[in-house]
Amino acid sequence: MSPREASPNGPDPKSPERDIVLLCNPRAGGRWKALASILDSAESRHVRWIVTDSIEDIGPALAMLSDRTRLVCVYGGDGTIQRILDQMYADRMDGPTLAFIGGGTMNVTARWCGFAGRPARNFRDVVRAYRSGDLLTKEVPVLTVRQGTVPRHCFTFGCGPIVRVLDEYERSPKGKSAALSIIGQALTAIWTNMPPKYRQILAPAEAEVLRNGERLPYDRWTALFCNSSGRLHIGVEPFVKMRTRDTFYLGAYAITKQEIAIWLPALMRGLLPMDPKSLIKPVAGWKAIAMSYVGRGAYPVDPRYINDLAREVEIRTPERIFTVDGEIVQSTGEPIRVRLGPTLRLAVSPTAVLAQPMRLATGARAPAEV
């Protein structure tokens, strides 16, 4: 079924000419009640609605946008956002400002943009700020993940044991109880290898990884991911360097499943373990440790915890699945190449911890900033 247009006052022939579009995927998490509170708000009268019946309708919905569209409010989760990025940048490298207001099962990107409240409140705040000329925006690059000729656009790419656990959840009945059960089984299997099926799920990923054309010195990985935003999940910001204009983040841990379980709370905050081999170096190792203690350097990091920046990454692996922004993708077995992709203009909340947001100007057809 194709996407539907709607208007608070019935069919509106002028609605395609409105600056703001609300693109709704109410099946993302099944949150029809939350969507109703958005459509009943006073701010919705200034917005053209496009409601999809499934995630497959997103492509036709985007085709319905007019040249005047300057702001697209997206009601849906990270899977909806990822599909929008793929469709919107399939044949062009620019587009309208995007406001991710939440509404899905996972809303990592919306929260990263500072929209941690309910979708209805986020929607009202965005529309009010836009109409008053106070809407803040931030230019953020996404990744282009290409396997063969198929490009996918996302903020996070990953493969390995964590992705296999995610796939196990996607194949099970959804809900908090199912998620807790899977997490509990995975944690038990880390230390006991029981239940038996988790031995394979938690086995290290075998992969040859090339960073900027140079092969990394390991071929078995407990975690392997690339990211352009600095955040992998809510509260998970593991990177230790500042991204530059032409680079993205790379995390690759060639450690055991037991080690990642022990160090996970620290890794989530970007705290990497010290290299134990530095302790047996009589001068250089202890000097580096002493200098880090007084704040004049960094302690020697365990080299198996690769946490760096990259301009491009190529991954050659027999892994059958990988993820882009939480969506499970079936691998074709071809090399996977990750590079920086198009730059998005995202609406951000004043509370978002993002450097140098811009104010989106209103009242003109061409995008501008002041």
Alpha carbon distance, N-terminus to C-terminus of the chain: 41
Distance from C-alpha of 332 to C-alpha of 41, rounded to nearest angstrom: 46
Is residue 370, in this structure, part of any structural domain at all? Answer: no
Is residue 251, in this structure, part of any structural domain at all? Answer: yes
Tell me: do 213 and 307 sit in the same domain.
Answer: yes
Mean per-residue pLDDT, 295-305: 73
Higher pLDDT: 299 or 200? It is: 200
Tell me: do 355 and 312 sit in the same domain.
Answer: no
Tell me: do 338 and 349 sit in the same domain.
Answer: no
Higher pLDDT: 278 or 14? It is: 278
Residue 209 pLDDT? 98
Q: Flag whether pLDDT at 250 surpasses 80.
A: yes
> What pTM value is reported for the model?
0.84
Mapped onto helix, strand or coil, the DSSP state of residue 185 is helix
Distance from C-alpha of 270 to C-alpha of 284, rounded to nearest angstrom: 24
Q: What is the DSSP letter of 113?
A: T
Higher pLDDT: 20 or 358? It is: 20
Residue 248 corresponds to which tokens in the numbers above?
């993205």
Distance from C-alpha of 110 to C-alpha of 78, rounded to nearest angstrom: 8
* Tokens 């996607």, residue located: 170
Mean per-residue pLDDT, 128-148: 93
Higher pLDDT: 299 or 58? It is: 58
Tell me: do 44 and 166 sit in the same domain.
Answer: no
Structural domain of 9: 4-140+344-359
Is residue 366, in this structure, part of any structural domain at all? Answer: no
Residue 15 pLDDT? 43
The pLDDT tens digits for 11-37 are: 343 444 478 999 987 665 545 677 788
Supply the CATH number for residue 18's domain. Answer: 3.40.50.10330
Q: What is the DSSP string of 297-359?
A: S-PPBPTTEEEEEESEEEEE---SEEEETTEEEE--SSPEEEEEEEEEEEEE-TTS--SS-EE
Tell me: do 43 and 128 sit in the same domain.
Answer: yes
Domains identified in the chain, total number: 2
Tell me: do 113 and 49 sit in the same domain.
Answer: yes
The pLDDT tens digits for 67-101 are: 788 999 999 888 888 888 888 776 555 678 999 99
Distance from C-alpha of 273 to C-alpha of 324, rounded to nearest angstrom: 27
Distance from C-alpha of 10 to C-alpha of 365, rounded to nearest angstrom: 26
Residue 26 pLDDT? 66
Residue 370 pLDDT? 27
Mean per-residue pLDDT, 125-144: 93
Tell me: do 186 and 306 sit in the same domain.
Answer: yes
Is residue 145, in this structure, part of any structural domain at all? Answer: no
Tell me: do 328 and 351 sit in the same domain.
Answer: no
Residue 268 pLDDT? 93
Q: Are the C-beta atoms of 299 and 321 separated by less than 8 Å?
A: no
Distance from C-alpha of 301 to C-alpha of 125, rounded to nearest angstrom: 44
Confidence band (pLDDT; 50, 70, 90) for 363?
very low
Tell me: do 265 and 323 sit in the same domain.
Answer: yes
Tell me: do 69 and 200 sit in the same domain.
Answer: no
Is residue 367, in this structure, part of any structural domain at all? Answer: no
Q: H or E element: which one contains 49? A: strand 48-51
Residue 284 pLDDT? 55
Is residue 368, in this structure, part of any structural domain at all? Answer: no
Is residue 147, in this structure, part of any structural domain at all? Answer: no
Q: Which amino acid is at 264?
A: L
Q: Flag whether pLDDT at 51 surpasses 90.
A: no
Residue 63 pLDDT? 77
Residues 6+ away with beta carbon under 8 Å from 166: 323, 326, 328
Distance from C-alpha of 93 to C-alpha of 340, rounded to nearest angstrom: 12
* Tokens 């491009």, residue located: 312
Is residue 59, in this structure, part of any structural domain at all? Answer: yes
Supply the CATH number for residue 245's domain. Answer: 2.60.200.40
Tell me: do 172 and 304 sit in the same domain.
Answer: yes
Q: Flag whether pLDDT at 355 surpasses 90.
A: no
Tell me: do 244 and 95 sit in the same domain.
Answer: no
What percentage of residues in the chain have a pLDDT greater than 70? 80
